[in-house]
Structure 1
Amino acid sequence: MNDASALRVRPAVTDDAPLLARWAADMAWETEHKRLDPDTVLRGVAAGIADPLKARYFVAVREAVLGGRETVGQAVGMLMLTTEWSDWRNGWWWWIQSVHVDPGHRRQGVFRGLYRHVREAALAEPDVLGLRLYVEQDNEAALRTYAALGMHDAGYRLLAEAFERT
């Protein structure tokens, strides 16, 4: 029985890689109906955790205090940050990517906690210009969530050319 619970955000560690890789694959299926190769995703997540120049992962942990003394933590969400240098503004944009909240913990402030954590870290760095993310254009729930946090349409379209690599 929970006496209290709180959300804590922490940097991902190597042991988180299997869960984060599973969540990344789940998110790709849920948002874009893309099946990802689990081994490739695991290697990608592990590489990002190991090298902060590639990516920085954050994990939301729901902590419960049981019986007034025991703390139990359950990972309930994640996001990945990457950076983009802006020569126009002589600073960094932080890109929020690979957002996933465990389905049983949605609409409970998990993403809000992750976002606030990253936003506070960005505000503490004088050369960070702001936060950006891309969202599936028909994902109305995500669009409402991001707007409620103060994000807005930046007026760009995302174009890409994907290279098929084996």
Structure 2
Amino acid sequence: MNPKGPFMTTTVSIRRANPRDVPTIAEYNIALASETEDRRLQETTVTDGVRHFLEHSEFGFYIIAEIEGKPAAQTMITYEWSDWRNGVIWWIQSVYVSKAYRRRGLYRKLYEFVKTSAQNDGGVREIRLYVDRENVAAQHTYEALGMQRSHYLLYEAEV
């Protein structure tokens, strides 16, 4: 193996997800909830939710990073209309990198794909994401990519 890591000799490809990716995306979302919020999600609920999302492009889309044809990371983009900007804000959500591939630049590649896609879209005015305030490593990653901390706080209420 290459001493600089497996990415030096492997190909990373980034693409939009398709229905064949539903099982992987569901698996990654379940792992994400477990690792970040210590929440156990129901596999059937998550699988149905991912499938529904992919069937409704008006909600957004998933992006998959593959290494040698195998899914290694994902993120989801959802849309928010901004009347202040007369355009769309893309929200980056459900970021997950498989444990076997962490700390190797996969999120950077996903983000670059998102940013380029947003620039090419013509209607996207901003890219946003939220991050757990205690996830300092992720915050450093986002800042290193040129993202800035927002002045907004996030509030929520379950219904």
Contact 1:82 1:94 in 2 (8 A): yes
SS in 2 for 1:130: strand
Are 1:84 and 2:80 an aligned pair? yes
CA distance in 2, matches of 1:152, 1:25: 28
SS in 1 for 2:141: helix
Identity %: 40
* Structure of higher RCO (CA pairs closer than 8 Å, 6+ residues apart): 1
CA distance in 2, matches of 1:152, 1:38: 34
Give the equivalent residue in structure 2 for 1:47.
Answer: 52
CA distance in 2, matches of 1:53, 1:5: 34
- Once the two structures are TM-superposed, the CA of residue 50 in structure 1 deviates from its matched residue by 1.6
Give the equivalent residue in structure 1 for 2:27.
Answer: 22
List structure 1 runs of 4+ shifted beyond 3 angstroms. Answer: 1-4
Determine which of 141, 145, 151 is the counterpart of 2:141: 145
Where do 5+ consecutive residues of structure 2 fail to align? none
SS in 2 for 1:124: helix
Give the equivalent residue in structure 2 for 1:66.
Answer: none
Cα displacement string for residues 50-89 of structure 1 (whole angstroms, at most 9, x for unaligned residues): 21112301100012xxxxxxxxx11100000001000011
How high is the TM-score relative to the length of structure 2? 0.92
Give the equivalent residue in structure 2 for 1:106.
Answer: 102
Contact 1:32 1:136 in 2 (8 A): no
CA distance in 2, matches of 1:31, 1:142: 11
Cα displacement string for residues 83-106 of structure 1 (whole angstroms, at most 9, x for unaligned residues): 100001111100000000001101
What is the number of equivalent residue pairs in this alignment? 154
Of structures 1 and 2, the larger Rg is shown by: 1
- Identify, as 1 or 2, the structure richer in strand: 1
- Once the two structures are TM-superposed, the CA of residue 4 in structure 1 deviates from its matched residue by 3.2
Contact 1:122 1:128 in 2 (8 A): yes
CA distance in 2, matches of 1:108, 1:34: 26
Give the equivalent residue in structure 2 for 1:70.
Answer: none
Determine which of 119, 126, 132 is the counterpart of 1:130: 126
Where do 5+ consecutive residues of structure 1 fail to align? 64-72
Give the equivalent residue in structure 2 for 1:154.
Answer: 150
